[in-house]
């Protein structure tokens, strides 16, 4: 957020409160269905994984992953892997396509998919 104009204050009669007019610029982001976002995985379980993309929390179900990616509970930490070059565990950067969103006061949630071209793990 960037403040660019603050008026001179005005004391409100009878209360002692001050009133200011402030002009500001803020970056506002509203994710939409079909958008691809880069996120960081923070939790993995047999049903899918949770990731964070800025203020947006995402859940990617195991049903919305390519068939060759399977959950490996014996790995430490537990992960989704295709036993080749893709490993999804906490800390992994992923590219996710948003399937649906839900917004509540103070937080945003989305359901995502990594089934598609250019989606999934991002190589460093």
Span 58-116, pLDDT tens digits: 999 999 999 888 998 888 888 888 877 888 899 999 999 999 998 877 788 999 999 98
The pLDDT assigned to 120 comes to 84
- pTM value is 0.74
Tell the CATH superfamily of the 36-121 domain.
Answer: Nucleic acid-binding proteins (2.40.50.140)
CB atoms within 10 A of CB 101: 17
């Amino acid at each position: 957020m960037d403040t660019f104009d603050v008026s001179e204050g005005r004391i409100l009669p009878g209360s002692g409160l001050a009133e200011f007019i402030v002009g500001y610029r803020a970056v506002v982001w509203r994710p939409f269905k079909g958008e691809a976002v880069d996120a960081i995985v923070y939790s993995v379980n047999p049903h899918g994984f949770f990731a964070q993309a800025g203020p947006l929390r995402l859940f990617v179900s195991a049903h919305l992953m390519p068939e060759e990616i399977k959950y490996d509970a014996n790995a430490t930490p537990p992960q989704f892997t295709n036993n080749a070059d893709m490993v999804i565990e906490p800390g992994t950067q992923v590219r996710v396509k948003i399937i649906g969103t839900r917004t509540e006061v103070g937080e945003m949630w989305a359901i995502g998919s990594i089934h598609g071209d250019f989606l999934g793990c991002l190589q460093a």
